[in-house]
Chains A and B, each alone.
Chain A
Amino acid sequence: MSDFFTTAILVATAASGVRLAVPLLFASLGETFGQRSGVLNLGVDGIMLLGAFGGYYAVLQTGSVWLGLLIGIVVGMLLGLVSALISVTLRAEQGISGIGIYLFGLGMSDLLFQKLVGTPLPITKFPKLNFPVLSDIPVIGELLFQHSVVVYLAFLAVPVSMYIINKTTFGMNIRAVGENPEAADSLGVSVNRIRYATVIIGGTLAGVAGAALAIDLGIFQQNLTNAQGFIAIALVYFGAWRPVGVMLGSLLYGFVNAIVLQLKTLAIIPPDLSDFAAMAPAIITILALVVVARRFKAPAALTKPYSRGE
């Protein structure tokens, strides 16, 4: 155990926690937009998987991580569009239709991987940034200033999301549509247009999350996300539908995950318990959710499709 409590290992663990939080942060911020407007998309994990494969394959073929990220964006947008079509236009039961998207993403990403790649080949990872002076500060440097651009983008997305939700007319419309779509409609706010927009934003960020995960690991395999998309949905509840809350949840999950991985690497957790240990992050996060989330109310129209009384 004492091996763990050395500065070097603690800092490395924390830094990797920040990295591990990134895919969750993208995905749960995206899901926050959808849920604030009243749409629960349970398909996040499926979109992440296809985004991950798309990103991986693009990097494998071209060697460009940026092209990989772009493919993640495009895949996410398209699947977001499909999700919106199903839940907004077709008004499907949201608790079920998202599972369909998930299963589609799970199966399709594996199928494409088997057909197009077959044996897992590693790909180029995101380059780490190196800030003059800052990156060399002990502890803080490693913790904050030695990450890839994607990490900074993810955390930058937090204030941007806050600004959009709280300070723009688009954000006000999102909140209105999620609480009382009828009232919004009666004032000429197009409920469907807003919900399409948020679900597509959600899909896009899920696609980015997947691509970021694959390119960060430099690998793809079946069920690469390991249900992180579902954790992301739980984090939205945990974060009380607020970007900062969602970020704290993602970091909590990232840190717990990093600690477990580190303890395994150091063989502090015996190998035969590693399956249990793998569940720890999810369990701890869900427990935190149960304790914290009670106090906040979900958007009143969450999961309810809208149609004008006719």
Chain B
Amino acid sequence: MLEMRAITKRFPGVLANDRVDFDLRAGEVHTLLGENGAGKSTLMKILYGLYQPDEGEILLNGSPVEIHSPTDAIDLNVGMIHQHFMMVESLTVAENVALGLPSNRGFRTDLDAVSERITELGTRYGLKIDPSATVWQLSVGQKQRVEIIKALFRDANLLILDEPTAVLTPQEVDQLFKTLRQMTEDGRGLIFISHKLHEVLALSDRITVLRQGRITGQVPVEGATRESLARMMVGREVKLAPDKPAVEPGRPRLRIESLTVLGDRGDEAVRSLNLEVRAGEILSIAGVSGNGQREMAETIGGLRQPTSGAIFIDDTDVAGKTPAEIRAAGLSYVPEGRMKNGCIGAFTVSENLLLVDHQKAPYVKWGLFDFGVIKEHSAQLVKQYAVKTPTLDTTARSLSGGNIQKLILAREISGTPKVLVASQPTRGVDIGAAEYIHKRLVEQRTEDTAILVISEDLDEVFALADRIAVIYEGQIMGMVDPATTSREEIGLMMAGVHPETTSDRP
């Protein structure tokens, strides 16, 4: 039904799409796979009329079309669900759906008819929603449903889904996939964008891989594996799970005892939480975001005050201490907000590497920085952690996400911490850099460090963890062994369902 031929799109300094060919048949799911910045969204925004291609042509049902605006796309029955929700939060579901459409009643809105049709579509495709609800009240999963209804309402035969699962729980993803399959059964064609490999394999009929604006492979889903897809994305062999040398865990080095922490809205985000991380092990916290993991990590790092409870690093209680005191007690912390808490964008690479140790010898001599030593130290870290930066004096802000993350990790690990807390260490980071970060985290186990990794990415949790703790509404739902537990079991626990047979602490 769709053919895009030799599409080229340039942005100042970037070739976002380089002679890309892409096609879609009715009734199939064709996935566009690629790292961040590969050019997936750009290609799709061209198809939806948000960008104009510099070269190339688009054919729909055999005839060439010009798509100058979303209106043109909608008229051609092309729908798009954007990477970020495209909704007016202060309007109701029905109003959001009706937006931009002519009303049956002339200049007056006709929301009753719209609501009726929403309910109808909802029943048919398993998209239950209250049309009169205001959008800001909805959960993420519900908003996603509204986005799909918006497209269905406009009779989209070709639907583009740009990373629709990024914010969903595993259960919501399952539900979404059911709906999407039903849509392909009706003969609609779907373009699915993702970089989560297991989802791609579960949903797609065909997969096209983009790297740096170019197509590097197109394969049917049969015979594709996570490894083969990752290789096409990165351009070399990738280890998705790091080799993990066996390390015998030692004594507990991080002990959290009935910790209670308030969230930003004054509610109890963490409720009497208990947790132990032992020397030489990686404990992963799995959970849907918003269940207290961020607040817990911030409290360990000293960025947030607990209301009660204790946090021991070895034998020192650091609960409620300042970040500097906690670091002195032996904590290294890779925070969730790379640019907000992890580094200073306007500082150079070298300055960022020094942030924690800037008051100590050998970097400071007689109250002054010793730039020779600093330079040497930074150069060594940059090399050792494969941070790609033009110079040591480049500002951190101009590096890519993956390299910023490596930079932060380099700073945090280099001091051989007693306890390392890493929040979402590879979120938004490309596979190559993620691979490297995982390798360093696993290596750190042999240094007797107790490592706590907080991640929403179940692939990452499974790849790294010696033990998995599932967090739900501020409490640990259960502690499981990744070797004997399935994703489904963990998915259920993340949704608050108690495991019937909790495997005992491994």
Contacts and interface: CB of A to CB of B under 8 A. Distances in A.
B50 A308 contact: yes
Contact of A169 (B74, B88, B89, B108): B108
B103 A188 contact: no
B138 interface: no
B107 A169 contact: yes
A295 interface: no
Given A180-B88, A183-B86, A168 B108 contact: yes
A48 to B, nearest CB: 29
A180 B71 contact: no
B89 A186 contact: no
Given A189-B100, A310-B51, A175 B109 contact: no
Interface string A168-179: 111111011001
Given A169-B108, A169-B109, A172-B99, A179 B89 contact: yes
A184 B109 contact: no
A184 B85 CA distance: 12
B88 A183 contact: yes
A186 B50 CA distance: 8
Interface residues of B, number: 30
Contacts of A168: 107-109
A142 interface: no
A179 B90 contact: yes
Q: Could you say which of A186, A187, A189, A308 has the most chain B C-beta atoms within 10 Å of its C-beta? A: A186
A231 to B, nearest CB: 26
Q: Could you say which of B85, B96, B150 has the most chain A C-beta atoms within 10 Å of its C-beta? A: B96
Interface string A275-310: 000000000000000000000010010000000111
A115 interface: no
Interface string B18-62: 000000000000000000000000000100101110000000000
A184 B90 contact: no
Contacts of B48: 186
Contacts of A188: 69-71, 74, 100
Contacts of A185: 70
Nearest to A183: B86
Contacts of A309: 45, 50-51
Contacts of A187: 70, 74, 86, 99-101, 150
Nearest to B75: A188
Q: Could you say which of A169, A184, A185 has the most chain B C-beta atoms within 10 Å of its C-beta? A: A169
Nearest to A170: B107
Contacts of B96: 176, 183
A35 B150 CA distance: 27
Contacts of A184: 88, 99-100
B80 interface: yes
A71 B341 CA distance: 59
B6 interface: no
Majority SS of interface residues in chain A?
A: helix
A184 B52 CA distance: 19
A172 B71 contact: no
A180 B91 CA distance: 10
Q: Could you say which of A171, A297, A309 has the most chain B C-beta atoms within 10 Å of its C-beta? A: A309
Interface in A143-170: 167-170
A189 to B, nearest CB: 5
Q: Could you say which of B51, B86, B100 has the most chain A C-beta atoms within 10 Å of its C-beta? A: B100
B109 A186 contact: no
A32 to B, nearest CB: 15
Contacts of A167: 108-109
A169 B434 CA distance: 48
A173 B91 contact: no
B344 interface: no
A187 B107 CA distance: 18
Contact of A175 (B88, B100, B102): B88
Given A167-B108, A187-B74, A188-B69, A176 B50 contact: no
A186 B82 contact: yes
Interface string B76-101: 00001010011111110001101111
B453 to A, nearest CB: 34
A180 B51 CA distance: 19
A108 B445 CA distance: 77
A183 B87 contact: yes
A293 B405 CA distance: 43
A176 B99 contact: yes
A183 B48 CA distance: 13
B70 A186 contact: yes
Nearest to B69: A188
A179 B82 CA distance: 17
Given A186-B80, A187-B70, A169 B90 contact: no
Given A180-B88, A188-B74, A172 B69 contact: no
A172 B98 contact: yes
A266 B143 CA distance: 62
A126 to B, nearest CB: 31
Contacts of A300: 89-90
A114 B374 CA distance: 72
A251 B470 CA distance: 59
Nearest to A187: B100
A175 B91 contact: yes
A172 B96 CA distance: 9
Contacts of B107: 168-170
Interface of A: 167-173, 175-176, 179-180, 182-189, 297, 300, 308-310
Closest 4 CB pairs of A and B: A187-B100, A188-B71, A183-B86, A188-B100
Interface of B: 45, 48, 50-52, 69-71, 74, 80, 82, 85-91, 95-96, 98-103, 107-109, 150
17 contacts: A168-B107, A169-B98, A169-B103, A172-B99, A173-B99, A175-B91, A179-B91, A182-B86, A183-B85, A185-B70, A186-B48, A186-B50, A187-B100, A188-B69, A188-B100, A189-B99, A310-B50
